Structure 1
Amino acid sequence: MTALDDKINERFPGLVVRKDLVKAVKGNAIVPTYVLEYLLGQYCATNDEASIQSGIETVREILRKHYVHRNEAGLIKSNIREKGRWKIIDRISVALNEKSDTYEASFANLGISKVLIDSGTVKTHPKLLVGGVWCIADIEYDYTEDKNVTPWILGTMKPIQLSHFDYEAYLAARNGFTTDEWIDLLFQTVGFDPEMFGRRSKLIQLMRLIPFVERNYNLIELGPKGTGKSHIYSEFSPHGILISGGEVTVPKLFVSNSSGKLGLVGYWDVVALDEFAGKQKKVDKALVDILKNYMANKTFSRGVEPLGAEASMVFVGNTKHTVPYMLKNTDLFDELPDKYYDSAFIDRLHTYIPGWEVGVIRGEMFSNGYGFVVDYLAEILRHLRNDDYSDRYRSNFELSSDISTRDRDGVHKTFSGLMKILFPSGEATPDEMEEILKLALEGRKRVKDQLMRLDATYPDVDFSFARKNGEKVKVATLEENEFPSFYYRRAGGLGLPTTEPTGDDASEAAAAPQLDAGATAVTSVSEGPKTGHFTYNENQRGVTFDNLFGPYLVGVQKITITDPYIRAFHQVRNVMEFIETLAKAKSPADEVEVHLVTCVDGIRPEKQAENLGAIAASCEGVGITFTWEFDETNTIHARHIVTDTGWKIALDRGLDIFQQYELNDAFSFANRLQQFRSVKAFEVIYLKNNSV
């Protein structure tokens, strides 16, 4: 257990569970995570290993005896008949039989229907009427010769969800965590290992929770397959429902004219449409029109009086093309079905999550640490829907007056949602608020910039804010910084923005790699090396050692690398890749000395020395001599590269700028070519000693 795990168990006793236990008990039971964690929360909400193992066996036994597998439905029915009563775990849905004026329940896996259920239970749990609810129920069998009477009788029924919680205790416990610890706790709760992701990646994934805390929030996420876009909406909360975008109809989503039955938006906090993308998909225009009105006004109507609802709408789908391809040829909404590829629909989206920044989920990314029992957090998030934090930034920041009302609403709702998730008490530092505000502005800007490609009537918008001291901060999307030559495209043709980036933004844009131009980053060999201070964003791609260092290594004879953290295999490999850049930059007739100053690995020093020796052996015969020394005092902290030509390159992360990738996959582009790797956030400073 980590120190954070200890703290989680101390602050939230009985409300957290080890996240790897879900896999341990699930087996072949096709049930949502929140159902399994509800059971685990009853028996395994502890950090005592003996109690955990005992609880796992109890939960396994409950699932074995009471969870209904469809292929074993006949056996369960026989058990009910023979024993007279049997407890089951199944998804129950209810419909009103108008002919008999009774409510009738259907059991998804057990395969029985027309089971009478009292109206009081239906009133208490109205979601039974729409989509169904996972429940623990007692079923009885009483045969009668009357063919119109079902022999199945519903005894007791309990929805699998939390019955109560202490919100004030939640707020008090939150105050015992730093912001980084809280983000990691939430990240472990949704099932991922925080050590495998950078801060921006964590926040982007946590943005998927905003629809659960904000009423009538409209979110879209498009990106490659396998990035876990729909996981939260299907597994995380009993208050959200995930349906296929191709299955949705006006009666199912809103209201049926024939029966007057309210649709999904009337009962669920979040309605997510999966597999939403696909240009060839057939879509009912009437559905799109009603959906646009609902997304804008929170109401819908089908010829009778307007009805209101609070459900947030989420649209998730896969993209077929890379981001630079879409920016060059179409736009980031390219994959939407034709009837949704409409400026009026797109303009109603509050934020666009860049799904391409979320890596394809791999096995090692899942967490073995502790997180909330998801049903507990789901109830907390639902409680927070009553609060509004959208104006909490105003004491420190002021949005540009150029931002329209609809843009401002999108920014406000995203900011409010992230505040509630990260700072439920409403207390955050100005720097923390600024980080959230930038994400909120970026998410809406991504929508608006693409709208300007679709419709020439949309004007340029200055997505910026001012700090309390009057300093202006201009916000840009990551893809805007990465691909400026493709990004600034307007309806009717290509064109640059009316105002060029200035100040720090211009430096950042200049430093951004250009994948289309051979991954040119800070500068190029033809331009010559230049002094400067450059910042790279987390998840940015196209950054290579050739770009960062190549121009500064031409003509060198001696290089000293100082970095205390050349210990793990991937860190030593970074040194080798730096030497590869040197080998490409130097003349074949030159000989260069490379000396590394680092600290000894306290865990596997022999392996560290072996790997460094392998680099030295590899350098023989290519005109490079590689040596190293260990700082015996272990006091060095700075990371920099110094050349005998007078250049000093200061790197806040040293050579360790890349996020984790598949080191052992020889057929992975990220393994073979640096420009296909995502980077961590880092800074580089180029200094020149002109006396050398």
Structure 2
Amino acid sequence: MLDEKKLREAFPNTTVFKDQNLIATFKSASIPAFLRDWIVKKKAGVDGQIHDMDDLRRYMNAIIPRRDDLLAIQESARNNGASKKFLARIDIRFNVANNTVSFEIPDLGITHSETMVEDYVWERIKNELVQKSGGWGLVQLGYLPPEKPERPRGKLTLLEFKNFCPYTVNLEAYRAARAHFTIEEWFDVLLGAIDYNPEGYQDWVEKHTMLTRLLPFIEPRINLVELAPKGTGKSYLFGRVGKYGWLVSGGTLSRAKMFFDIAKKQPGLVANNEFVALDEIQSIEFPDPGEMQGALKAYMEAGEATFGDKRVVGSAGIILLGNIPQDDMNIEGDMFRTLPEVFRESALLDRFHGFIQGRNIPRMNEKLKINGWALNTEYFSEIMHLMRNQSENVLYRSVVENLVSYPAGADTRDTEAILRICTAYLKLFFPHVIKPEMIDITEFKRYCLRPAVQMRTIIRTQLQIIDSAEYGGKNVAAYTVNEKFEKMNRGEG
């Protein structure tokens, strides 16, 4: 069991008491975990507990409005000159045709057609917005009445926007804190950060598989497939834990929405998010499968794709999530047979780096729900976000490339996949390791290298089943730890 005292001493300002009854209250209000922990931290007593639930509910209603509150917000903006400030996810758009900036707040039903951002406001707040084309933040709205001919219709305006980042996140302090924990303890710290009770898992394999879902949060352009039995928490993790990714659940998905809308001249999901998770993949419909397939192949290979004269560049990983019966989780069988035809082409599947074995993750039950002190989800979300920075990528990738050896004839896509997954694991499990000689080689092999090879091997096996003519007999090469570091680990060098 994780020592909560040790956790709070290592992270004195970024832990929060996670109470299951309280978590259920926030969940019923559809408030994401990263917002929940910030609110709890703000309203809790010194013991971490919320002692006035009525006050909490009033605050929640005031700071995160619902669609039912839209009329009141509009009325306040119209009659008082400004609405109250509230937290919301906002999307910004520059309209090339009329040289204006507009915004939308999807959760409130506010669309681009009814909004604008005045130039003097844009100059003041653009640095908060431009890097992410919007995002979660503290928002205040105003109103501009009709003014013919310049403005034949009234518009809601954006008066204020402040990025939602309530913590000063210091990666060096985070790395230093990690050094105080064993790898077994660190697994439990990470599980608590995403609302899971470590005591509910049977062994480290279940914990490791669950935490593998976090790789797209911490590593740019990592493309994964997870097929798992129902009820294992896929939608919750990818949809509610962080604010930088996007979860698509069923329905129709066009190339324009995913990559670039030529008519509106607007980049799509891959350009504005850190990952795009396609949930219930078997039920998603693609209006033009061939067009989507071509765009995915180009983007997943190089992180960019061209549409007409427009080039879309992104760092988002593509994640396929699907339900599969436990009995069908057979690595040697065709596990991908229920995927949409878009993803049944071997050249596209080859661009997925690894496969998460969802059968190792237990179905959600009461024992798996955290109830105690844990790392704040919002803080951890920001840590993973910063770990995606180019400087961090170079740092950890360099460590991995020094540690891992492979034959000269190894397949390039296999190598890239394994090194990329290893790098993501290193960031997640060993963030304090910034030089290859700092890591225990046995731990690196068990928790990083071997799982990475296994994840890629499953993709390779499925490729052999789907396209035996091209991939038959082509197995993943041997990826091992560099002998130099093996000897150092044995005390021989």
Give the TM interval when normalised to the shorter protein: 0.7 to 0.9
Question: Quick check: 1:63 aligned with 2:60?
Answer: yes
Question: Quick check: 1:398 aligned with 2:395?
Answer: no
Partner of 1:288: 293
Distance in 2 (CA, whole Å) between partners of 1:289 and 1:463 is 28
Partner of 1:311: 316
Letter in 2 for 1:460: K
More helix per residue: 1 or 2? 2
Letter in 1 for 2:363: V
Give identity over the alignment, percent.
25
Partner of 2:474: 460
Contact 1:29 1:69 in 2 (8 A): no
Corresponding residue to 1:235 among 240, 243, 248: 240
Specify whether residues 100 and 303 from structure 1 end up closer, same or farther in structure 2 by C-alpha distance, changes over 3 A only.
Answer: closer
Distance in 2 (CA, whole Å) between partners of 1:57 and 1:12 is 29
Partner of 1:73: 70
Deviates more, 1:390-399 or 1:455-464: 390-399
Distance in 1 (CA, whole Å) between partners of 2:352 and 2:481 is 27
Partner of 1:409: 416
Q: Note the alpha carbon deviations across 1:590-639, whole angstroms, 9 max, x for none.
A: xxxxxxxxxxxxxxxxxxxxxxxxxxxxxxxxxxxxxxxxxxxxxxxxxx
Question: Quick check: 1:134 aligned with 2:145?
Answer: no
Partner of 2:490: none
Question: Quick check: 1:342 aligned with 2:325?
Answer: no
Question: Quick check: 1:449 aligned with 2:455?
Answer: no
Secondary structure of the residue aligned to 1:360 is: coil
Structure-2-length-normalised TM-score: 0.84
Distance in 2 (CA, whole Å) between partners of 1:140 and 1:308 is 34
Instruction: Write out aligned runs for 1:539-550 (5 A).
Output: none
1:238, CA displacement in angstroms?
Answer: 1.5
Distance in 1 (CA, whole Å) between partners of 2:62 and 2:144 is 21
Instruction: Write out aligned runs for 1:331-480 (5 A).
Output: 331-385=334-388, 386=390, 387-388=393-394, 389-390=396-397, 392=399, 398-399=405-406, 403-426=410-433, 427-435=438-446, 436-456=448-468, 457-458=470-471, 459-466=473-480
Letter in 2 for 1:8: L
Partner of 1:107: 105
1:412, CA displacement in angstroms?
Answer: 0.7
Q: Which has the larger radius of gyration?
A: 1
Q: Note the alpha carbon deviations across 1:245-300, whole angstroms, 9 max, x for none.
A: 54322222222223432222222111211221259876521111111111112220
Secondary structure of the residue aligned to 2:414 is: helix
Q: Note the alpha carbon deviations across 1:437-467, whole angstroms, 9 max, x for none.
A: 1100100001001111111221231554456
Distance in 2 (CA, whole Å) between partners of 1:282 and 1:140 is 38
Secondary structure of the residue aligned to 1:335 is: coil
Distance in 2 (CA, whole Å) between partners of 1:395 and 1:123 is 38
Question: Quick check: 1:264 aligned with 2:269?
Answer: yes
Q: Note the alpha carbon deviations across 1:53-107, whole angstroms, 9 max, x for none.
A: 2586654332122322223433454555666542333333333345542222233
Q: Note the alpha carbon deviations across 1:316-374, whole angstroms, 9 max, x for none.
A: 111257226x667x501112111211111111110000112212111221111333222
Specify whether residues 255 and 141 from structure 1 end up closer, same or farther in structure 2 by C-alpha distance, changes over 3 A only.
Answer: closer
Contact 1:279 1:335 in 2 (8 A): no
Partner of 1:189: 193
Letter in 2 for 1:66: I
Partner of 1:92: 90
Letter in 2 for 1:409: E
Deviates more, 1:281-290 or 1:194-203: 281-290
Distance in 2 (CA, whole Å) between partners of 1:273 and 1:280 is 11
Contact 1:391 1:412 in 2 (8 A): no
Distance in 1 (CA, whole Å) between partners of 2:220 and 2:97 is 37
Contact 1:278 1:335 in 2 (8 A): no
1:469, CA displacement in angstroms?
Answer: 7.0
Contact 2:253 2:285 in 1 (8 A): no
Instruction: Write out aligned runs for 1:549-568 (5 A).
Output: none
Which runs of 5 or more residues in structure 1 are unaligned? 473-692
Distance in 1 (CA, whole Å) between partners of 2:476 and 2:289 is 36
Partner of 1:203: 208
1:313, CA displacement in angstroms?
Answer: 1.4
Distance in 1 (CA, whole Å) between partners of 2:65 and 2:141 is 12
Letter in 2 for 1:116: M
Corresponding residue to 2:152 among 137, 148, 155: 148
Distance in 1 (CA, whole Å) between partners of 2:33 and 2:6 is 24
Q: Note the alpha carbon deviations across 1:667-687, whole angstroms, 9 max, x for none.
A: xxxxxxxxxxxxxxxxxxxxx
Contact 2:250 2:283 in 1 (8 A): no
Specify whether residues 74 and 28 from structure 1 end up closer, same or farther in structure 2 by C-alpha distance, changes over 3 A only.
Answer: farther
Partner of 1:4: 3
Q: CA RMSD in A?
A: 3.1
Distance in 1 (CA, whole Å) between partners of 2:94 and 2:195 is 38
Distance in 2 (CA, whole Å) between partners of 1:145 and 1:395 is 65
Secondary structure of the residue aligned to 2:308 is: coil
Secondary structure of the residue aligned to 2:428 is: helix
Specify whether residues 275 and 3 from structure 1 end up closer, same or farther in structure 2 by C-alpha distance, changes over 3 A only.
Answer: closer
Deviates more, 1:100-109 or 1:147-156: 147-156
Secondary structure of the residue aligned to 1:275 is: strand
Letter in 2 for 1:101: N
Distance in 1 (CA, whole Å) between partners of 2:308 and 2:157 is 40
Distance in 1 (CA, whole Å) between partners of 2:312 and 2:11 is 40
Contact 2:167 2:379 in 1 (8 A): no
1:428, CA displacement in angstroms?
Answer: 2.2
Q: Which has the higher contact order (CA 8 A, sep 6+)?
A: 2
Secondary structure of the residue aligned to 2:234 is: coil
Distance in 2 (CA, whole Å) between partners of 1:382 and 1:257 is 29
Partner of 2:254: 249
Contact 1:38 1:160 in 2 (8 A): no
Specify whether residues 279 and 449 from structure 1 end up closer, same or farther in structure 2 by C-alpha distance, changes over 3 A only.
Answer: farther
Partner of 2:49: 52
Deviates more, 1:179-188 or 1:393-402: 393-402
Specify whether residues 352 and 20 from structure 1 end up closer, same or farther in structure 2 by C-alpha distance, changes over 3 A only.
Answer: same
Q: Note the alpha carbon deviations across 1:400-423, whole angstroms, 9 max, x for none.
A: 566411111111111110011111
Distance in 1 (CA, whole Å) between partners of 2:421 and 2:30 is 33
Partner of 1:168: 172
Secondary structure of the residue aligned to 2:16 is: strand
* Alignment coverage as a number of residue pairs: 463
Structure-1-length-normalised TM-score: 0.61
Specify whether residues 102 and 468 from structure 1 end up closer, same or farther in structure 2 by C-alpha distance, changes over 3 A only.
Answer: closer
